[in-house]
Amino acid sequence: MSMINTQGIAIYLQTADATPLDLVPTAISSTDPAVITVADATGLTEGDIVLFGTTGFDELNDKFFAVGSINTTNGTFTAIGADLTDTTGTLGASPTATIYTAADQVKLCLSAIDIAADSVNEIDVSTFCEVGTMAGKKTLGTLTLTGFCDPDDVAMGELQLADTDATMRFLEIVMPGTGNGYLIGRVTLSGLSYTVPIEGAVGFTMTGTQNKKLVWRY
């Protein structure tokens, strides 16, 4: 068994002023990874983020993936972690692939990030005859970002914007090394707070909700 050391991890957050590129897939292969054909793949870079919509494939719809290898001659790119080998879907009538490039992201220099899973509230349905519970309302998973304040870091400005605009953004955690993949999901950040020690570095903590659960793709 091997483990992934966190040295070299990179964390990216969608910017408030992101201007994604909308592409129309003309074909999507049932392979692992899926190969997406578009009219023009120039302008794409490995590592860009793609959000698929109404593709006809449940494995892709409303999900984020990282762009893998690109073939500008054929107009194709792969989506890392998109395994369609067992799919029963077919290309829909109005498929979309929204591309977020490096210009639409900012790198976060965090000291820690904690990701908590979804939870389900239990409803007590016990009677005098027997004890029992049933599943109640699902609570979305949360995350906590921790770091140090740097006014020269553009990411600090983005976090301050995120704290007030309540806008959903994608968050990507790229694992170091080759083939270790990435965690990606959609989050809403809020609750920016600061710690000011007597001596030391000013730090911040920020909480967020996983609107779309962070998933590890590789």
Under the rule (CB under 8 A), what is the footprint of other proteins? Answer: 6, 9-11, 107-111, 147-148, 199-201
Q: How far is the CB of 158 from other proteins (least distance, A)?
A: 15
Q: How far is the CB of 199 from other proteins (least distance, A)?
A: 4
Q: Which is nearer to other proteins, 75 or 147 (CB)?
A: 147
- Give CA–CA dist 169/20, Å, rounded: 12
Q: How far is the CB of 140 from other proteins (least distance, A)?
A: 24
Q: Which is nearer to other proteins, 24 or 202 (CB)?
A: 202
Q: Which is nearer to other proteins, 44 or 110 (CB)?
A: 110
Tokens representing residue 211 in the block: 């609107």
Q: Which is nearer to other proteins, 71 or 111 (CB)?
A: 111
Q: How far is the CB of 152 from other proteins (least distance, A)?
A: 12
Residues 6+ apart with CB under 8 A from 62: 51, 52, 53, 212
Q: Which is nearer to other proteins, 107 or 213 (CB)?
A: 107
Q: How far apart are the first and last CA of the chain?
A: 17
Q: How far is the CB of 100 from other proteins (least distance, A)?
A: 20
Q: How far is the CB of 111 from other proteins (least distance, A)?
A: 5
Q: Which is nearer to other proteins, 124 or 199 (CB)?
A: 199
Q: How far is the CB of 154 from other proteins (least distance, A)?
A: 13
Q: Which is nearer to other proteins, 20 or 203 (CB)?
A: 203
Angle subtended at Cα 80 by Cα 210 and Cα 153, rounded to the nearest 5 degrees: 55
How many DSSP H helices and E strands does the chain contain? 1, 16
- Give CA–CA dist 128/32, Å, rounded: 54
Distances (CA, A) of 20 to 9, 23, 30, 48, 123: 24, 10, 26, 10, 42
- Give CA–CA dist 115/196, Å, rounded: 24
**3-state helix vs strand vs coil in the chain, percent to 5:** 5, 45, 45
DSSP output for 177-206: SSS--EEEEEEEEEEEEEE--SSS--EEEE
